[in-house]
Amino acid sequence: MKTAILLLGHGSPRKEANESLERTAAMVKLAGGYDLVRAAFMEFGKPDIQTGVKQCIDDGVERIIFMPYFLYMGAHVSKDLPAEMEEAKKKYPNVKMIMTDPLGEDPKLSEIAVKRISKAVTGQQSSVSRNFPPDGIEKESFRIIDEALRGYNLDEHEYPLVRRVIHTTTDFEYATSMQFSKGAVEAGVEALKKGCSIVTDVDMVMSGILKSYRSKLGIEVFCHISDEDVIKEAKEKGVTRAAIAMQKGKERINGGIVAIGNAPTALYELIRLSKEEGIRPALVVGMPVGFVGAADSKEVLAASDLNFITNKGTKGGSTITAAAVNALMILAVEG
């Protein structure tokens, strides 16, 4: 379904203020990988909201998502913008239209506020104003994360993984975007306690998995993407090395943990191995990153019958995947 996102701003007599929302629309399109993102304004700016809707319709969209680019649920958001959407619905009854919440309260907004305040006071972006011993920095970081995560109602088994991923990325979006199959964390911890193998899609994920905890658990980590036979076979078959690497590692994958942080094709191949060849990993940590295939491959994983840990959308990556595996290892060792 071709979808348009319509960012709704108040509008200003100042042209540069309206251009800011237009630049934001371009960034949202890039970050979300959406078909179409436009800015529209209640007044002063062009296009107005109804014209913005018509432009989206002219581009052949079947769904329009109205996103109020406002901080709070004031009169514009609670009354005026819904009225604009209802007017558009009457004009275009065959087009699905949805209104999102406004920006509202979000930990990311508080982070931005801290940066702005720090810059005003010190002339620098840094918010660290005290000297910490090395272990104190980590403790303070986790304290800040724990404070910010109050009210998210995260599962007690999943919390340590979400917490460590946020610590790695400073991105609180993972508090809502990470997904877990039922019992996934417990399955992963149990497999690690039994000394299972870990198979990764790329070397960077392997290098990010803590060697100290590998040693404590007596486990080995494997990555075949740079093996000569894998490179040769991938070239001959015209497929990605990541897919062939999954095929080569399938014996270790069976009953092991698979950590995929880069290549959607590795995740697709793993799911195929499960369906067609009966390969059953104890757990899949599938968090590939990118605009092409990453979000879709994670949706396929979430719809599968495998034990999984993943996240919605285009974000992800090797460091995040390694962080999730490290959290599992710490739980297996320390409980």
Residues tagged active-site: 167
Q: What is the rounded (10 degree) CA torsion for 265, 268, 269, 270?
A: 120
Task: Tell me the DSSP string of 251-272.
Answer: HHHTTSEEEESS-HHHHHHHHH
Q: How many residues does the chain have?
A: 335
Element containing residue 285 per DSSP (H, E)? strand 283-286
Q: Which two tokens stand for residue 40?
A: 């529209």
| CA 286 vs CA 87, 169, 215, 264: distances in Å | 42, 17, 23, 9
CB contact at 8 A, 197 and 220: yes
Tell me whether residue 187 is exposed, middle or buried, using C-beta atoms within 10 angstroms of its C-beta: 0 to 12, 13 to 18, 19 or more.
buried
CB contact at 8 A, 296 and 323: no
* Encoded amino acid at 161, one letter: L
Q: Which two tokens stand for residue 81?
A: 């913008």
Checking 42-47 for CB contacts under 8 A at 24+ apart, the result is 42/8, 42/9, 42/10, 42/11, 42/76, 42/80, 42/81, 42/84, 43/10, 43/11, 44/10, 44/11, 44/12, 44/13, 44/18, 45/9, 45/11, 45/12, 45/18, 45/21, 46/18
